[in-house]
Amino acid sequence: MRNKKIGIVVSVTIIITAFLTFLATTAFYAFLLNGKSSVGLQSGAKILQTVSALQKHYYYGIDEEELVDSTLKTMLSSLGDPYTAYMNADEYKTFAELITGTYAGIGTVVLWDDELKAVTVVNPFENSPAEKAGLVKGDKIIEIDGEDFANIDFESAVSKMKGERGTNVILTVLKADSGEKVTIEVTRDEIQIPSVASKLRGNIGHITISMFDMHTGEEFSQHLNDMLNQGAKGIILDLRDNGGGLVESVTSVSNQLLKKDEMIFYTENKAGKKVVHKSTGNGVDLPIAVLINENTASASELLAGALRDNKATPLIGKKSFGKGVVQMTYPLSDGSVIKLTVEKYFTPNGNDINNNGLKPDYEVGLSSNKDEQYQMAEEVIKNLMS
């Protein structure tokens, strides 16, 4: 028994020592990177002193892994940027599954309500667990399995809604129609996510892109060619409720709509370095109109901005969400990652999307039983076709 206790103590000591080394290294890098030795070393020293006190004196003991995770989450959330976050290995695995277009979860597009600290339901997929459980557009998820989002970030909240097929998740929801707080139990299932849909209406091709995942470029090509083969003379591109996704996918779609060397967007980092992204495709000569709304965000805003700046494509609907920042993931040693905002996006004409959004050329709302936005887009595209 004594040897077992010694082994446990040694293991804990090794873990604590590794953590202290990590913190000391962090302080050292702070010193090297910004040259502010007093700031870097003083911050590192405070953390070291706190952990040392916990190790020596804290009555209840500490869970080292949980301590590191919570420290990193708090550190990044304190920056006030909802898109910069820490994800442990399990959270990152779930997050990575989403961009493949297939995952196990409740099946809905969501956005983050930073003021309310809630997940907003944007578009439950047809026949998904979310739809079957009664979730509708505009519902606000404020708790998952009894945990609120006061100390959690958007990515972690989304990852908690995913999980193994057949398992249940309890959501506390503020209903969009009544504001009533209700509890909804949803059984997760395998979610297949088609990101593009289309329908020919007369000689107008209506193409909807719901998100930009790994397959969106290929899907869009199939739908665009199908519309052209059926005789479409104009395209209404519907980006409403599209929360964004992979930049590579929006570039792929842009290549099919813009001519070679037309700028899609450019990025700028904290040092002012500018990187321009241009189309490598042949584009299309058909007139295009784009539908946007308050949930059109990120990659979908880049596409809408690129079309308007290059082709004078009219935007119809409501002002877009306004997410124009770039995130990169940086892996840590245990499979966890930190996701940091590293650049800003700009449209070809230099418009800063972030927190500004894109203002439509034709601002149109929606009533309860009509799609006035589509009706306006149809009127606009017919004028462009004539």
Asked if 215 and 245 count as a contact pair (C-beta separation under 8 A), the reply is no
Tokens matching residue 286: 């058909």
DSSP of 76-119: HHTTT-TT-EEE-HHHHHHHHHHTTTEEEE--EEEEEETTTTEE
DSSP 269-305: ETT--EEEEE--S----S-EEEEE-TT--THHHHHHH
- Find residue 291's DSSP bridge partners: 238, 316
Query: How many other C-beta atoms lie within 10 A of the C-beta of residue 132?
Result: 14
d(CA 213, CA 248): 9
Give the 3-state secondary structure of residue 235: strand
Closest CA to 161 of 129, 205, 132, 116: 129
Kindly list the catalytic residues: 298, 323, 327
**Strand ranges in the chain using DSSP code E only, listed in sequence order:** 85-87, 102-105, 108-113, 118-124, 140-144, 147-148, 168-174, 181-187, 189-192, 196-201, 204-209, 234-238, 263-269, 274-278, 288-292, 315-317, 325-331, 337-346, 362-363
Tokens (6 digits) for 174:
């503020």
Buried/exposed 52-63: b ≥16 CB within 10 Å, e otherwise: eeebeeeeeeee
- Tell me, what amino acid is at 331? P
Q: Indicate the residue type of 12.
A: V
- Positive or negative, the CA dihedral 102, 103, 108, 109 is negative
Q: At a CB cut-off of 8 Å and minimum separation 6, what does 94 contact?
A: 103, 158, 159, 162, 163
